[in-house]
Amino acid sequence: MLEKDLGDDLKSVLITKEEIDAKLAELAAAIDEEYAGRDVLLVGVLKGAVMVMADLARALSSHVTMDWMAVSSYGAGTQSSGVVRILKDLDTDIKGKHVLIVEDIIDSGLTLSWLLSNLGSREPASLEVVTLLRKPDAAKVDIEVKWVGFDIPNEFVVGYGLDFSERYRNLPFVGTLAPHIYGGTED
Ligand SMILES: O=P(O)(O)OC[C@H]1O[C@H](OP(=O)(O)OP(=O)(O)O)[C@H](O)[C@@H]1O
Ligand code: HPA
Ligand SMILES: [Mg+2]
């Protein structure tokens, strides 16, 4: 799957496109069951969640609407700064709506923890989270997440929406970055 001419930028493929597709179908079935007969507003967290949102939304049978929020805590680095900034707010008033936050990754959990309290204060009827990836060993805050695709090791990953300095988002799989790209040490 390295046909996109990545040279030696990647250390390994962690999750293949086929594994992502199968997992999203599984998550979509569980989400459809939970929201049966109810409208759900999917809130995608830009930019990383674009691929998850696009593929998950198409796998759902529920009536959904979509909105987007852009926040940033990483800038160009590989460590969360912990300081969350709103770059784009929702267009929708979520009061009384069933809101499902769609994320690509929960790493330290700081972004999501902040989002949950921010969106929670807007009085949605319900507020849940679906994330494709989570790094349990990197958690700095405890968050309850209803739907998790894959728990992964505490390594910086790219692809399927995830970037390093805005690159690699368009890879169809999730891979780990070679240390020489981000200045880490070989192991
Ligand atoms: O759990 P945390 O340590 O807070 O990290 C998770 C967040 O970091 C990434 O976003 P980023 O700020 O890099 O923006 P991007 O989606 O535009 O790349 C990712 O998409 C999550 O939103
Ligand atoms: O491992 C990661 N890769 C890319 N972006 C991220 N944002 C949080 N963690 C990561
Ligand atoms: Mg990023």
Tens-digit pLDDT profile for residues 144-161:
999 999 999 999 999 999
DSSP 87: E
Give the per-residue pLDDT at 1.
47
Domain of 128 in residue numbering reads as 18-155
Residues lining ligand 2, Cβ inside 6 A: 74, 105, 107, 156-158, 162-163
Q: 182 lies in a domain?
A: no
Domain with residue 86: its CATH number is 3.40.50.2020
Give the per-residue pLDDT at 148.
98
Predicted complex ipTM: 0.98
Number of domains making up the chain:
1
107 given a catalytic annotation: yes
Coil, strand, or helix at residue 92? coil
> In sequence order, which residues have a C-beta less than 8 Å from that of residue 119 and are 6 or more positions away?
43, 94, 99, 101, 127
CA 22, CA 91: separation in Å to the nearest integer? 31
Q: 125 lies in a domain?
A: yes
- With vertex at residue 67, the alpha carbon angle to CA 65 and CA 71, rounded to the nearest 5 degrees, is 155
Q: 162 lies in a domain?
A: no
Do the beta carbons of residue 48 and residue 112 sit within 8 Å?
no
Coil, strand, or helix at residue 30? helix
Give the per-residue pLDDT at 120.
97
Residues of the chain whose pLDDT is less than 50?
1-2
Atom of ligand 2 nearest to the CA of 162: 4
Q: 12 lies in a domain?
A: no
